[in-house]
Amino acid sequence: MAEELVRAIAEMDPAAVWLGGSIVGVTAVFVGYVGVVLVAALKADTPELQQYRSRLLRELLRFLRDLLRGRGKR
């Protein structure tokens, strides 16, 4: 299976490989950022700080949902 994957990637144009790598990279950055915000929200000391970080997490997830949904119906 790994050989087939390597062979399929080798047959692609370099632009397709760069595009796929870029998509994976951007996705990893988003997931990492959501994880950092979630940990920060859970470790907040004061209720005000916890509410602020929780609101930030909700806004980030809403942005991510809208981004993945596209510009269609809302």
Model pLDDT for residues 1-54, shown as the tens digit of each residue = 778 877 777 777 777 778 888 888 998 998 898 888 888 878 888 888 888 888
* CB-based contact 31:12 (threshold 8 Å): no
Residue 28 CA to residue 53 CA, distance in Å, equals: 21
Q: Where are the alpha helices (DSSP H) in 1-73?
A: 2-11, 14-42, 47-69
Decide: pTM greater than 0.85: no
Task: Compute CA 41 distance to the chain's CA centroid, rounded to the nearest angstrom.
Answer: 18
